[in-house]
Chain A
Amino acid sequence: EIVMTQSPATLSVSPGERVTLSCRASQSVRSNLAWYQQKPDQAPRILIYGASNRATGIPARFSGSGSGTEFTLTISSLQSEDFAVYYCQQYDNWPPITFGPGTKVEI
């Protein structure tokens, strides 16, 4: 099973700041990596797939990079609506599909 780790667990930031979230896989997942955003009491929402492709309707301030075992989600200028928990997910070798533990972005 591929284990996903994320850092940091919590990130305290101010609106307008640039935010970088990290995700690491225990073995290579090539570019088969997705990022999701989840707000309280809501289902997750896809942000990025294929490590760097923005999903439909996702603002350009969200970008993804990386391949293999190291990945990054960057929010170029944090907006108030971006405070949420962010999860990475690998889908290179499944089952199982595995998620990281999440990074909470808070004020």
Chain B
Amino acid sequence: QVQLVQSGAEVKKPGSSVKVSCKASGGTLRTYGVSWVRQAPGQGLEWMGGIVPLFGPVKYAQSFQGRLTITTDESTSTAYMELSSLRSDDTAVYYCARALGAWFNYWGQGTLVTVSS
């Protein structure tokens, strides 16, 4: 059974960076692809970026270009999402999701990132 386990909640100051991890059991992340999706309080789902399956490139949503970095460490089956220049409207639950093609069949439990001074 595939499980994605994310790192714990974070509280960050505006202007700082956050790095969230997503450890997978069962299958390599880059074989299937992994994306990061966030959800602001009471809002819908927003795709941030992801790795194309079968060891493809990383693709980012335009709105996060320049301040989002998605990486993987295949030796530990862990994906990372680092978001810089944090603002208060980056407060959200951040999910990693494993892709089959480009739809998501497994999700992490979510990581709450709170940006507050």
Q: Which residues of A are at the interface with B, using a C-beta cutoff of 8 A? A: 1, 32, 34, 36, 38, 43-46, 49-50, 55-56, 87, 89, 91, 94-102
Contacts and interface: CB of A to CB of B under 8 A. Distances in A.
Chain B contact patch, size range: 20 to 34
Q: Secondary structure of the A side of the interface?
A: loop
Interface in B34-88: 35, 37, 44-47, 49-50, 59-62
B109 interface: yes
Contacts of A96: 47, 61-62
Q: Secondary structure of the B side of the interface?
A: strand
B11 interface: no
Contact of A99 (B44, B101, B108): B44
Contacts of B50: 97
Interface string B97-114: 100111111011110000
